[in-house]
A and B are shown apart, each in its own frame.
Chain A
């Protein structure tokens, strides 16, 4: 049932893509920027949906389960302040420059502002690899999630899994309808079909004998997983997003983002209401947890989050300023004043999405066993306190949060490749609009294939690496800020800043590999604090030691006000 609801939701997205495609004008301006015609509400929804990933629902609940309510201050309230300031100071200004000079991507702005192809050639691989990492988190997350919500006990598969089991325990009772799938003979336990780890408990209960429990553990590790295994789930989500981005370009992306953002916000609130009701109401749930001395530590921050970590986390939300996919969304606005709603409402949207999830994570800590996988907390609470329909709806909400970032990332990678590499270096302005769109689509397919193949392999290291993509974007932020607000900033300073970031990022990542438990911190602080500070210092020093930009260039980007 849950999967049927998710499939219906995905079908709705396909329909949206086809509909937006019918309105698509055959030019690259419409494909990449929706003809710069997006209004205030859609801009807010696109920007909010793009900045919130699956983390907004699953991660916030899970992190609270692991680190307590301080997670809201660490990630959400800092983001509310910093993101709103970035939209005000950077977003509207970028929009005006984009409109005036016809920029389609972030890199085209940097090329023009610093008059440097070398800077763009340095930034391109860096930015693309950060986006791919970000994308991978979404693709793998979606695959894992779909697998998790389709936990059929036996789904159709010809595979037979066998593990050693000397003989059937005396107390073993195999249900009648399982007898044609499960057999014990010749010292082996054999099971045919796929088994989902979530059904481990059902098998465990069949006997109390230790040898049976050991055999079931081995069986679950060896057997193929749920009805929709991770590779299939990843492929379904990639194809759906690819479809509507292909057919509708930025217009479909903006529409889909608006719908998906509303879906994940509403579904989060519904999950909160239903679960809270089952717990006897929010007051009863909190009082019960407070009375539990062994578990109420999650209601404060002491011992769970460091004070300097809490302070220096403010550097992470700076990454939003350098997200190339968000940059492109900013360029779609019809007018600068459309940003006003986003500046005011973005922190409130964060509040509406995060507070219910943080409360659920907090209450879950008093209910679920220690050692529960934090990423499974929301799913387990939903499974425990709601029916399959709600599980399906929440599933659609989680996928909505994932896909609302993925679509923008697909489109932005396509724009960067087409406009900043092919068109600029090989086409020299001679490539037709239709060819540009075709090239963009081809590049997206290639990137999706790469992500899919990486997603099939070692996934945990990808998640570990994902943290560094935010650090990398945040480290590049000073270069954008200087470009917009510092007349004296020049290409030498910007190039030095990018190179410094690349070195520090690689060093930081290699050092973090030595940390096996908890977050990698330097002197109790987030590494991003050091990276942003050093990158800024290098950029400023090199800029001051090298010639200033030409007067012509300064006049172009900082015209004297009459």
Chain B
């Protein structure tokens, strides 16, 4: 899954270079947004979605677990004393 997320980020970076829309003013997406702007608004939305995939499937859960384990160990120590 981690590789998929890395590939998605790279894909976003490639799609960001939309040289194919460089001179285009039209079509106007939703009737008012030039295609070059709409494309990049879409890139921002896609970045949020890739972020969602990353936090759902690749989140380093051990960062919080370590914390809980340490807190647990401390409580045990206190109880023992």
Binding site for B on A (CB under 8 A): 69-70, 72-73, 76-78, 80-81, 84-85, 88, 92-93, 95-96, 99-100, 282-283, 285-287, 290, 296, 299-302, 307, 310-311, 314, 335-337, 340, 343-348, 350-351, 355, 358-359, 362, 561
Contact = CB atoms under 8 A, between A and B. Distances in A.
Contacts of A358: 37
Interface in B28-74: 28, 30-34, 36-37, 39-41, 43-45, 47-48, 50-52, 54-55, 59-64, 66-67, 70
A81 B64 contact: no
B48 A347 contact: yes
- Main DSSP-derived SS at the B contact region: helix
B32 A336 contact: no
B11 to A, nearest CB: 11
A344 B52 contact: yes
Nearest to A307: B19
A335 B28 contact: no
A84 B47 contact: yes
A96 B63 CA distance: 6
A290 B45 CA distance: 26
A230 B37 CA distance: 35
Contacts of B52: 344
B63 A355 contact: no
Contact of B34 (A85, A299, A302, A340): A299
Given A355-B41, A359-B33, A300 B66 contact: no
25 contacts: A69-B34, A72-B40, A73-B18, A73-B43, A76-B44, A77-B16, A77-B40, A78-B16, A80-B43, A84-B47, A85-B9, A88-B54, A96-B63, A282-B31, A283-B32, A286-B32, A290-B26, A299-B36, A311-B17, A314-B16, A336-B63, A344-B51, A347-B47, A359-B33, A362-B34
B76 interface: no
Interface centre among A77, A286, A290, A310 (most CB of B within 10 A): A77
Contact of A351 (B13, B41, B64): B41
Given A307-B19, A335-B64, A347 B44 contact: yes
B45 to A, nearest CB: 7
B63 A80 contact: no
Nearest to B19: A307
A307 B23 CA distance: 11
A556 to B, nearest CB: 14
B42 to A, nearest CB: 9
A68 to B, nearest CB: 8
A336 B67 contact: yes
B19 A84 contact: no
Contacts of A73: 16, 18, 36, 39-40, 43
Contacts of B60: 92-93, 336
A561 B22 CA distance: 48
Given A77-B47, A92-B63, 7 more contacts: A77-B43, A80-B44, A286-B34, A300-B25, A346-B48, A348-B48, A351-B48
A300 B31 contact: no
Interface of B: 9, 12-13, 16-19, 21-26, 28, 30-34, 36-37, 39-41, 43-45, 47-48, 50-52, 54-55, 59-64, 66-67, 70
A95 B55 contact: no
A221 B13 CA distance: 48
Given A88-B54, A286-B28, A286-B34, A302 B22 contact: yes
B13 A81 contact: yes
Interface centre among B22, B33, B47, B61 (most CB of A within 10 A): B47
A93 B16 contact: no
A522 B31 CA distance: 38
What are the 10 A-B residue pairs with the smallest beta carbon separation, nearest first?
A336-B63, A282-B32, A347-B47, A299-B25, A286-B32, A283-B31, A351-B44, A340-B55, A73-B40, A77-B40
Given A78-B16, A81-B43, A286-B34, A340 B22 contact: no
A130 to B, nearest CB: 26
Nearest to B56: A340
A422 B5 CA distance: 43
A80 B51 CA distance: 10
A190 to B, nearest CB: 51
Contact of B24 (A96, A300, A348, A351): A300
A307 to B, nearest CB: 6
A359 B24 CA distance: 16
A287 B40 contact: no
A139 to B, nearest CB: 30
Contact of A337 (B26, B37, B59): B59
Contacts of B25: 290, 296, 299-300
A346 B48 CA distance: 7
B76 to A, nearest CB: 18
Contacts of A311: 17
Contacts of B32: 282-283, 285-287, 359
A343 B40 contact: no
B22 A344 contact: no
A73 B21 CA distance: 12
Nearest to A344: B51
